[in-house]
A and B are shown apart, each in its own frame.
Chain A
Amino acid sequence: MVFKSVNEYPEAPITLGTTLSNFTGDWRTFMPVVDESKCVRCYICWKFCPEPAIYIKEDGYVAVDYDYCKGCGICANECPTKAISMVREEK
Chain B
Amino acid sequence: MPKKVVSGNYAAAYAAKHARVEVVAAYPITPQTSIIEKIAEFIANGEVENLQYVPVESEHSAMAACIGASATGARAFTATSAQGLALMHEMLHWAAGARLPIVMVDVNRAMAPPWSVWDDQTDSLAQRDTGWMQFYAENNQEVYDGVLMAFKIAEHEKVNLPVMIVESAFILSHTYDVVDMPEQEEIDEFLPPRKPLYTLTDFENPFSVGALGTPADYYEFRYKIAGAMEEAKKVIKEVGREFGERFGRDYSQMIELYRTDDAEIVFMGMGSLMGTVKEAVDMLRSEGYKVGAAKVRWFRPFPKEELYELAKNVEGIAVLDRNFSFGQEGILFNEAKGVLYNTDARPIMKNYIVGLGGRDLTVNDVKAIAKNMKEIIEKDELDREVEWYHLKR
Contact = CB atoms under 8 A, between A and B. Distances in A.
A–B: direct contact at CB < 8 Å: yes
Contacts of A9: 217, 220-221, 224
Contacts of A21: none
A13 B223 contact: no
Interface string A1-31: 0010010010111111000000000000000
Given A3-B220, A6-B223, A6-B224, A11 B209 contact: no
Interface residues of A, number: 9
A43 B209 CA distance: 34
Contacts of B99: 11-12
B211 interface: yes
A12 B220 contact: no
Main secondary structure of the interface of B (DSSP, over half): loop
Interface string B207-238: 11111010001001101100010000000000
Between B98, B197, B220, the greatest number of chain A beta carbons within 10 A of the residue's beta carbon is seen for B220
B225 to A, nearest CB: 9
A14 B217 contact: no
B97 A13 contact: yes
Closest 9 CB pairs of A and B: A12-B99, A14-B207, A15-B207, A6-B220, A9-B220, A15-B208, A13-B221, A14-B209, A14-B198
Given A6-B224, A9-B221, A9-B224, 15 more contacts: A6-B220, A6-B223, A9-B217, A9-B220, A11-B99, A11-B160, A11-B197, A12-B209, A13-B213, A14-B207, A14-B208, A14-B209, A15-B207, A15-B209, A16-B207
25 contacts: A3-B220, A6-B220, A6-B223, A9-B217, A9-B220, A9-B221, A9-B224, A11-B99, A11-B197, A11-B224, A12-B99, A12-B160, A12-B197, A12-B209, A13-B98, A13-B209, A13-B210, A13-B211, A13-B213, A13-B221, A14-B198, A14-B207, A15-B208, A15-B209, A15-B211
